[in-house]
Amino acid sequence: MKRVALPYIMTLFSYGCATMLSAQARNTHWLTANCWLSFSTATNQVLPMPPEMGPGGLMSISDPNGQLLLTYSGLAELRDGQFQLVENQQSAPMFWGESTSLFMPVPGQPERTFLFHYRYFSADVRKFGFMEIGPDGVDGQMSVTDTGTLWFMLNPARKCTGIAHANGEDYWFLTQAGGTNEVHAFRIGVLGVDEGPVVSPGGVVLAPELQTGFMVASAQGDRFISQAYNVMVPNETFIELYTFDPATGTASLQHSFADMSGQYWGAEFSPSGRYLYILKQDGVDDGSGNSTWRYTLYQYDLLQTDIESSRLTIATQNYFLGGMGFSKNNMALAPNGKIYINRFPTSGFAVINAPDEGSMACAFEETGWSMGECTPSVPHMMKYYHDDLGLGAPELNEPALSVWPNPLQDKGTLRHAADGPVHLRWSDALGRVVLTGRGMVIGGQLELHTGSLATGQYLLSVTHVSGRSVTTRVNVMR
């Protein structure tokens, strides 16, 4: 039986918008409290949860073809794609909800999976660990490797996310360290977690009462959101936007959002990464002297220099938008390019049908998907996977691209997956081409100059001599 060891570290690029299209098959199946949602056909399906799953399905992962591979239920049980118990499970770990557990493929071995999870041992001892699951049991039955859980981080915050590594093979596991303002990024290779994290100082210091929340990354892997709320003071909540360099594991605080109160809400990026949606919860008077919850859905344009001033209100509803169900984050980007929002305790999702369109063109529907007796909740998942590994998934032919540092001042480094001549085109927030140039990528790198560009956010399109083109977002700071 294959054994897992604790080993090594690496670095990541950000991906152009087109590169996430074939990777969503890993997220084809969603489990809710009592239903199984499938995006594997042209029509979304609502299927009954098999009785052996018990109440409270929390997450799942599919193989690169979209076939269900593993599930995790509210009974703290691991089951395979046929909902049979995974062999060699240890005593059920305490997972603390979906924002603290995450399935991630073993690099280069698409039939195998890592499960990362958080455990509370005592008020002073909390840990993140991982276990490996593969077809090692009798007759190829899915089984946990003999090593069980390997613990690798002491006293983390109660949240995590995963981002694909720029080398096209590995991944990053991201969390935050309790009692600090540090983001910790661990490189995940074929043997598991590397020897130590890449540590990046960030925003708010996570005192014990602020260590619960969620993290969610963009499909391109160049940004992520971190939310923290005060379990003792419900209206003290923080949400912060970070940029991330998938080639080095380095994170940088880009923006702290203002006027955010309440505990349970959500955040999600549009498929291209241009727009960010945030769901805010407030306690308000319903007009008759009674208190109720109000949920407001905002859209932010991340191409704008002043992110805060780009905020638009998409919808405001009392109570029936964003109730928690079994989720920490209330919003998720589905394989069909739409964003789904919990309407717990009602039986359905609100839907953002065109999340890459600005303002009301995003086509928000409060009752976008009604599901009978199904209790909605959204999964905790990665957005991009290296799935060109031989199980029939289409290859990702777009070259990887990143710029570091980001924001740029006068010059920096462009990293490109293919050597050779390239054409550079910079476009501003209005889509106008403001600067062009040419260069030669050597050893995967090109020195990048910002010329006369003013402070702001730009789209940099790089066209290789082969004709392939990829685009990434670059901030310029003077």
| Locus of tokens 């239920």 | 73
User: pTM value?
Assistant: 0.77
| Per-residue pLDDT at 59 | 85
Measure the CA–CA gap between 215 and 170, rounded to whole angstroms.
20
Q: Which domains are seen in the chain, by residue range?
A: 17-370 (2.130.10.10), 401-476 (2.60.40.3080)
- Ranges of the chain with pLDDT below 70: 1-24, 42, 54-57, 74-75, 91-98, 234, 262-264, 286, 319-328, 344-345, 388-400, 429-431, 465-469
Residue 324 corresponds to which amino acid? M
Provide the 10 A C-beta neighbour count for residue 182. 18
DSSP state of 247: T
Contact call for residues 150 and 161 (beta carbons, < 8 A): no
| Per-residue pLDDT at 409 | 85
Q: How far apart are the first and last CA of the chain?
A: 56
> Which tokens go with 238?
């923080």
Residue 332 has phi, psi (to 5 degrees) of: -155, 140
Q: Is 213 left (phi over 0), alpha (psi -120 to 50) or beta?
A: left
Strand residue runs (E) in 177-325: 182-189, 192-193, 198-201, 212-217, 223-229, 237-245, 250-256, 266-269, 275-285, 291-301, 312-318
The DSSP annotation for 396-429 comes to --SPPEEEESSSBSSEEEEEESS-EEEEEEEE-T
- Nearby residues of 106 by Cβ (< 8 Å), 6 or more positions away: 112, 113, 114, 132, 134, 190
| Per-residue pLDDT at 264 | 61
| Residues paired with residue 364 on neighbouring β-strands, in sequence order | 352
- Taking Cα atoms as reference points, which of 377, 310, 442 lies closest to residue 99? 377
| Locus of tokens 């890449």 | 198
Contact call for residues 73 and 84 (beta carbons, < 8 A): no
Q: What is the pLDDT of residues 45-62, one digit of tens each?
A: 888 877 777 666 678 999
- Taking Cα atoms as reference points, which of 286, 271, 283, 284 lies closest to residue 332? 271
Pairing outcome for strands 101-106 and 192-193? unpaired
> Which tokens go with 136?
């090692």
Contact call for residues 184 and 194 (beta carbons, < 8 A): no
Measure the CA–CA gap between 254 and 202, rounded to whole angstroms.
9
Instruction: For residue 79, count CB atoms less than 10 angstroms from its CB and return exposed for 0-12, middle for 13-18, buried for 19 or more.
Output: buried
Measure the CA–CA gap between 60 and 113, rounded to whole angstroms.
11
> Which tokens go with 332?
């998720």
| Per-residue pLDDT at 263 | 60
| Per-residue pLDDT at 452 | 85
Pairing outcome for strands 192-193 and 182-189? antiparallel
Instruction: For residue 323, count CB atoms less than 10 angstroms from its CB and return exposed for 0-12, middle for 13-18, buried for 19 or more.
Output: buried
DSSP state of 454: P
DSSP state of 100: G
Residue 29 corresponds to which amino acid? H
> Which tokens go with 172?
């990053």
Measure the CA–CA gap between 345 and 321, rounded to whole angstroms.
9
Helix %, strand %, coil % of the chain (to 5): 5, 50, 45
> Which tokens go with 89?
């499970």
The separation between CA 314 and the C-alpha centre of its own chain, rounded to angstroms, equals 22
Contact call for residues 216 and 268 (beta carbons, < 8 A): yes
| Residues paired with residue 227 on neighbouring β-strands, in sequence order | 214, 239
Residue 69 corresponds to which amino acid? L
What is the maximum span of the chain, computed from C-alpha positions, in angstroms? 68
The two counts, helices (H) then strands (E), for the chain are 0, 35
